[in-house]
Structure 1
Amino acid sequence: MEPSHTRVLVEAAYAAGAHDRRAAAMTVLRLLEPVTHHDAGAFMVWDPVAQAHRALAAVTYGDETVVALGDRYAASAENRPVRELHLPMRIDDMPGDYRRSPMYQEVLRPGGFEDGMTACLFSGSGAYTGMLHFSAAARGSFRADAAELLEALAPALARMCDVARRQPSGCAIPPGANATLIDHNGRAWAVESCAPALAPTQPGFAAFLRRFTASTQVTATGLQASSEGWLALQVLKVADPLGRPEPAVLVQELPTAGLPHSLSPREYDILNGMAAGFSNQQLAAQRDVSLRTVTTHVERILHKMGQPSRAGAVASALRDGILRLDR
């Protein structure tokens, strides 16, 4: 490898380790251009939760081309040798005539590209993390030294594209907690060393998430009903996984042994109704029960929570973070 290429390798590897992955990917594309001579480039990351590819960064490619270079390319026969060999491959390295393939004829050629090079990226454990695509207008643009540089840089690029390689910055996730990161488009992302959170799949959570995202709140704590019982949740706004300006939401959850203060399910329901501002009469009408029944539930709630009034019980519940988030 030429000394100038070695310097590019070092600078690109250093850039790939930056916290802002989108900015890092754009920097890598810029640093590699003097060696690869690409006219277009795209990093596609693999999201293991959604089982889909997403664009981390792209230059020159049109939007439709970028989309096709994700899941469609990954599922194509032409991608198989690239993924199996774990090596960057140029169009002319492909078995057969790649320029006769549907991917080339329908995606790359209409964009004005005559040459291309792709690398599939794998973490140190062997997990697939994404792809890097380069295209050029002229045939023969990608020389052997460009493929050699990509092969040497691949481990650093794989870490950069690995959406599950680290937890959101500044977040201490409790041991044993499930966690999911949800971006502003509602897409779920894996969190390193955590099983996916169950709460986002439950009815009512999407409506809560929209309210929380639109609010000025940074964090919220509460309970969520699920098919597996009650979950204790903390949600907080964090940096977007692709470095976009809109915040993402980190959902952390732990199962609970039961409802707080030994409240019954109906008492807990009434407590949440109280927190929503409903009177005893309204709570009775909504649940089709007598006013006396609701009054009895309220009395038991106050006794169990050690509070003298409805306002005190609601304030205590808010302070302790035990109300339903999806109420």
Structure 2
Amino acid sequence: MRTERMVAALAVREAADAVARGEGPTGTARAETVLGALEALLPCCGAAVERWDPVAGRHETLAAAGYGDEALAAMELAFHEDPLFPVVRDSGRPLRVRDIAPADRRGPMFDQVITPARFADGVSLCLSAGGRYVGSVHASTAAESVDDEVAGLLRLLSADLTGLVDPLDGLPLAAPVPAGVGVLCWRPDGGPPVALTAEARPELVAPGSPLAALLTPTAWPSRLGRHLLVIRGAELLAVEARPAGRWMVVEHRVVSPPSGLSRRELDVLAALPAGATNRMIARALGVTERTVATHVEHLLTKLGVGNRAGAAAVAVEAGLVRLAPGGGR
């Protein structure tokens, strides 16, 4: 048994190391690796790998065996509301049923998972990366068989398990995030962006988006420590990006237009760096050339510049980008 446990632990560590190098298992294969390790570490009647969805505010089952639908639903929808959840999450250590005083054995996990199935023991471990909660793993047994060695191995493997469960490969991120700020992670070399807050707008970095082009590895260094102004529909967003390993962390928030510019004046200003004429801008915005000329006159006054070239320079310096309604050009 000890040899089997060590083999399982080494398999997890090797898989996590490969993921950190940009290799190794991908997608559901990562969760299956974690599930296989749980089943090898102890004789499970049920095992599950759960990923936290910060936007939906619930867990998602990545892989499971032995648990019924009601038990999995409880893990997905109620584990984070269980009175013992903060204990498991904040300690960073595995919590076994045997470690919980009988008087404290209550809440959704006991009421909907452990007690109905008459599990004698079990263990839960929350996974975090730099204070960012990623997900959890659970295993239940028919006998009191979650011994100290299993608990110790799970604790030692916590970072490796996190890297396999987390879509960001266990990347630590600064926290907390201020209210009203959208945060997403994006890999310029491919793959969908990962929303980390409910306010996140993944479409900002959709393929072909002008913003995505500005955040490529060759372009973003010129914007380091500075923000971009992105016109998206009726909103103006201040967008900041910073590198984090293979990822770009993109933060955005709604801001007021600079220099007292109106929403339409911003649209006109964004078109000037490309050398667009009044006729071209009028056609794009669905207004008359006279209206565009008036907007240009007003924005020149508000910006304190003497001509279109000066206004275009201001737009470039501010990183002003206009996105089409769908997020692309």
- For the criterion TM > 0.5, the same-fold answer is yes
Deviations along 1:166-194, whole A, 9 cap, x unmatched? 389xxxxxxxxx9523899997227xxxx
C-alpha distance after superposition, 1:138-169 (max 9, x if no partner): 3345444433332332343245456584389x
For the pair 1:11 / 2:16, whether they are aligned, the reply is: no
2:160 to 156, 160, 163: 156
Q: Give the alignment of 1:59-98 within 5 angstroms.
A: 59-60=64-65, 61-62=67-68, 65-70=71-76, 72-79=78-85, 82-83=88-89, 86-96=92-102
When residues 305 and 144 of structure 1 are mapped into structure 2, their CA distance, relative to the original with a 3 A threshold, is same
Rate the CA distance shift 1:77–1:283 in 2: closer, same or farther, 3 A: same
In the superposition, the TM-score normalised over structure 2's length comes to 0.56
Report the counterpart of residue 55 of structure 1 in structure 2. Answer: 60
**Residue identity opposite 2:160 in structure 1:** A
Structure 2 contact 282–292 (Cα < 8 Å) conserved: no
Give the direction of change, closer, same or farther, for the CA distance of 1:53–1:102 in structure 2 (3 Å limit): closer
For 1:8, give the aligned amino acid.
A
Q: CA deviation at 1:129?
A: 4.5
Distance 1:217 1:271, change over 3 A: closer
Aligned match for 2:323, one of 316, 321, 325: 325
Three-state SS of the structure 2 residue aligned to 1:57 is strand
Using the TM superposition, give the Cα deviation of residue 63 of structure 1 relative to its aligned residue in structure 2, in angstroms.
5.5
The residue aligned with 2:176 is none
Q: Distance in 1 between matches of 2:134 and 2:10?
A: 21
The separation in 2 between residues aligned to 1:28 and 1:85, in whole angstroms, is: 21
Whether contact under 8 Å (1:270, 1:283) holds in the other structure is no
Q: Is the 8 A contact 1:12 1:27 kept in 2?
A: yes
Give the alignment of 1:293-308 within 5 angstroms. Answer: 293-297=291-295, 304-305=308-309
* Change beyond 3 A, Cα 1:113–1:63: same
Partner of 1:133: 138
Q: Which residue identity is paired with 1:69? A: M
Q: Secondary structure at the match of 1:74?
A: helix
1:231 corresponds to which of 231, 238, 250 = 238
Alignment of 1:181-196 (within 5 A): 181=185, 188-189=195-196
Please say if 1:32 is aligned against 2:30. no
The letter for the 2-side match of 1:119 is S
Deviation at 1:95, TM superposition (A): 0.9
Distance 2:169 2:324 in 1: 27
1:7-64 Cα shifts (integer Å, max 9, x gaps): 32222222234254753232021133123122332233456x6594533622134565
TM-score by length of 1: 0.56
- Looking at structure 2, the residues matched to 276 and 50 of structure 1 have their Cα atoms a distance apart, in angstroms, of 40
Give 5+ residue unaligned stretches, structure 2. 21-25, 174-181, 215-227, 272-277, 301-306
Go from structure 1 to structure 2 and tell me whether the alpha carbon gap of 1:166 and 1:78 turns closer, same or farther (over 3 Å shift): closer
Is 1:118 matched with 2:116? Answer: no
Q: Distance in 1 between matches of 2:252 and 2:106?
A: 50
Aligned residue type for 1:104: F
Structure-2 separation of matches of 1:109 and 1:275:
72
- Residue 269 of structure 1: aligned partner: 267
After TM superposition, list the pairs within 5 Å mapping 1:190-205 onto structure 2: none
CA distance in 2, matches of 1:324, 1:253: 15
In the aligned structure 2, how far is the partner of 1:106 from the partner of 1:188? Answer: 30
Partner SS for 2:101: coil
Distance 1:114 1:181, change over 3 A: same
Q: Tell me how far 1:134 sits from its aligned partner.
A: 0.9
Consecutive unaligned residues in structure 1, runs of 5 or more:
169-177, 191-195, 242-248, 285-290, 307-312
Q: How far is 1:231 from its partner?
A: 2.9
For residue 238 of structure 2, give the secondary structure of its aligned residue in structure 1. Answer: strand
The CA distance in 1 between the partners of 2:99 and 2:285, in whole Å, is 76
